Amino acid sequence: MAKTGHSANYEPGPPARGQLAQWGFFDNYGYHCEMGVDYRVWLVPKDRAFKPNAEQIAALANALREGGWVPQPDAGAQRSNLLELLPGGGPIEGKPFRSEPFRETPFEPSWVAFHSDHELVFEWWVNDATQSHVQFPFTFLPYPESGFTYFGVSLIIGPEYFYETADNVMPFPELETQCHCGEQLAYQTDDLSGLPSQRIRAKCPKCGSAFDVSKATAEIMDVFTGERRSVAGGLAFRFSLQIDAHKNFPSEEAAFRRYQLKDGIHELWRAHIATPYEIIDTASGGTIPLESWSPVES
């Protein structure tokens, strides 16, 4: 069951209590699954229109590196780069992007500002936390006997709203993503490696009015129990700090409830982004690999 942008009438059936709420994704789930569920944790501003300035973004990126939450560019067992997503009129597979490795020098606000005219993703992927000399971002290793300590960290910034739906995150009703003039502001971009598959325009192209997605409400389901809660702004944002556990998370509910981000992650947000935030977690099926995108020469 691959993740798609669900229609407004999408209604998954309820999961069994104590089993991951993926409605039949697997019977014997573990970190070793070749197919299955990807688990991600998103820190997003409560004011969904909020977008930090270049100084804040550079400070957070530097603090992540200095605190050992993400690897240095020359570390082993990791890959890290900057993605600058360029405007494109078709599906995301054909949307051009620029990718460049991070430099060893600290991130400068001027460098961030230069690259942030378009969507910008700081992306770190750690294959082995020990070899990469970084901290594991969650409170414990779910499968210590495996030796697996992989995870990803991303800073996602854009001029428009990134708009994520998942198997536990319902879409906004269509009327709630329309401008008052009747123009539909949500559009599909398809899927890529942990990035939201849709966008919502922050400014109406028809009448020029600003759009505040915080006024829209989406239902988000607990990934184990299926219990629903209404969330203003859903999982739409112009900035997010995302921690990607991929398939390295507990399959039993009791352990999963203890599987939280370490306090240091929250402290970095409070110190450098300094705006109220909330945490939304998602569980979803497969993604389109980076290789299917269309790079352009820098």
DSSP tag of 128: -
Provide CB contacts within 8 A for 209, sequence distance 6+.
179, 180, 181, 203
Question: Across-strand partners of 99?
Answer: 83
- One digit per residue, the tens of pLDDT, for the chain of length 298 reads 333 333 333 333 333 333 444 333 333 333 333 347 889 999 999 999 999 999 999 999 999 999 999 999 999 999 999 988 876 545 555 567 788 899 999 999 998 998 877 899 999 999 999 999 999 999 999 999 988 899 999 999 999 999 998 889 999 999 999 999 999 999 987 666 668 878 999 999 999 999 999 999 999 999 888 899 999 999 999 999 999 999 999 989 999 999 999 999 999 999 999 999 999 999 876 433 333 333 334 3
How many other CB atoms are found less than 10 A from the CB of residue 165? Answer: 25
CA angle 196, 65, 298 (to 5 degrees): 60
* Among 123, 225, 215, CA closest to 176: 215
Looking at the whole model, is its pTM more than 0.75?
A: yes
**N residues, the chain:** 298
Taking only Cα atoms into account, the Rg of the chain, rounded to an integer number of angstroms, comes to 19
Tokens of 54: 């270049």
Question: Across-strand partners of 195?
Answer: 192
Tokens of 176: 């709630």
CA distance 36 to 168: 14
